[in-house]
Chain A
């Protein structure tokens, strides 16, 4: 039997690497995620987020390094590990041929769960996903938000210890997104360990108690969202839109400006107070500007740059 090394370390990787065509997509990743943590992984497209998640479920053989999930070495124990994890994939792959409840039932059968157990869990999960009314509906009759909730419910059919979500709210409207957030918070409260990738900074900021910023297969930053904002970036940002060169020149005279960036016709001034710059703007007739506290997106842009990733 496989002895569980440490139940508090749900994920542990050392120097985990994956290469495609000689290029490291995940580069010597050292990562430990403890039980009960809600961990968000942020990064531009191609940063290695999805590849990392695929390695966690054993869908991607590693090129070097070590990985253990729930104390079991991967990828040898992939099948055993998957008995105790739930996956919400980026692309919906619900069974269009089945009703809502059949989707849960058939998926549960893949885990070898008995009909009796599944009957009970299906009921619980439909309630959890607020889909009781839709139990008999076809998938094509569900809205995008309902489908995502069903995918989430399906990922919980085996009562997992770790839930992996790859961009769970992409393409949803704000109401549907908030509904998913609320479900995820409930799960976190129940003690589940969650790993989520997202492009929505707000999502990570609100949900996660730990945020990892990845780029080019490496970890750029790793801390609680508030600490990241505190530690990685100045406290405030002044965004000035479509300003004349002369005005910008005046603004830059503010000695409290720590950093200045230009992107298209928007200028970003980073600093603590920026009193002088704000006064200049008050006096000028230019009113297209925004002074705000720095957020996770500013951290993200600082760490990964403003260039488009395609």
Chain B
């Protein structure tokens, strides 16, 4: 088999897993979409209006406009992380769905990649909802905002892969709290979702700059508010590097866990 044919087969098999997941999702799309739309509306309205009164303008934007891009990125992170941890763990251990897939020609790498693709799709759905809400609230500057969608997908790929690394060592659902509490929450608080990070001490700023969420926000905020995009390739590179390193590690570890 040629290299190209192999890649094609890998993608086709991963896609069959993605199709399975989207088929499940479409059965429960109602409540799921309600969550996708409802949460950002609440965050933007309550924090944007409420807190915005005190904060005034941030970086030349209304607080609600500033917050919208942060909320969009956070939701991309949360959607992919949840899918990569709780849902993936359910399929790996509780329902043994993966073992069923692995009894077909599908290999571990394809299962993992299918999961990552699907989790990133969840990020995409969730960010799309936020963009629609933001548009209704008049928080979107221009058509450049459409480029937020590929960034959201990439952010989803990155955090789904990281979540699957965590899942590869999980013994129960409780284990995920370590990752959420010790990594995701501090990262969200320090990456410029709620306030610009230049108010933070230098060392903390550096810390947030080595984490992927900061780079997602650095792309999404100007795209949403008509600001100037800087260091586009660096931001994309960081997200892609974290994602591919984590995906490789997750595949290796899950293979060790299941094929033993």
- A interface residue numbers (CB < 8 A to B): 57-61, 78-80, 82-83, 87, 89, 91, 93-98, 102, 106-107, 109-112, 155, 158
The listed residue (B16, B97, B100, B259) touching A61 by CB distance below 8 A is B259
The listed residue (B16, B95, B106, B107) touching A96 by CB distance below 8 A is B95
Closest 3 CB pairs of A and B: A93-B96, A110-B104, A87-B103
- B interface residue numbers (CB < 8 A to A): 12-13, 16-17, 19-20, 23-24, 27, 95-97, 99-107, 258-260
Please judge, given known A-B contacts A80-B105, A82-B105, A107-B100, whether A112 and B27 are in contact too, CB under 8 Å.
no
Instruction: Assess the B95–A82 pair: CB atoms within 8 A.
Output: no
Residue of chain A at shortest CB distance from B104: A110
Instruction: Assess the A79–B105 pair: CB atoms within 8 A.
Output: yes
Interchain Cβ contacts under 8 Å between A and B, 8 examples: A59-B99, A106-B19, A106-B23, A110-B13, A110-B16, A110-B106, A112-B105, A155-B103
Residues of A close to B19: CB separation below 8 A? 106, 109
The interface centre, meaning the residue of A80, A98, A112 with most chain B CB atoms within 10 A of its CB, is A112
Number of A-B contacts (CB under 8 A): 67
Residue of chain B at shortest CB distance from A82: B105
Please judge, given known A-B contacts A59-B258, A91-B96, A110-B13, whether A102 and B23 are in contact too, CB under 8 Å.
yes
The listed residue (A78, A89, A102, A155) touching B99 by CB distance below 8 A is A89
Instruction: Assess the A110–B24 pair: CB atoms within 8 A.
Output: no
**With contacts A57-B103, A58-B259 known, what are 10 further pairs, Cβ within 8 A?**
A59-B258, A59-B259, A80-B105, A89-B96, A93-B95, A93-B100, A96-B95, A98-B23, A107-B100, A110-B104
Instruction: Assess the B99–A82 pair: CB atoms within 8 A.
Output: no
Residue of chain B at shortest CB distance from A110: B104
Residue of chain A at shortest CB distance from B21: A97
Residue of chain A at shortest CB distance from B101: A110
Residues of B close to A95: CB separation below 8 A? 20, 24, 95, 97, 100
Residues of A close to B104: CB separation below 8 A? 82, 107, 110-111, 158
Residues of A close to B24: CB separation below 8 A? 95, 97-98
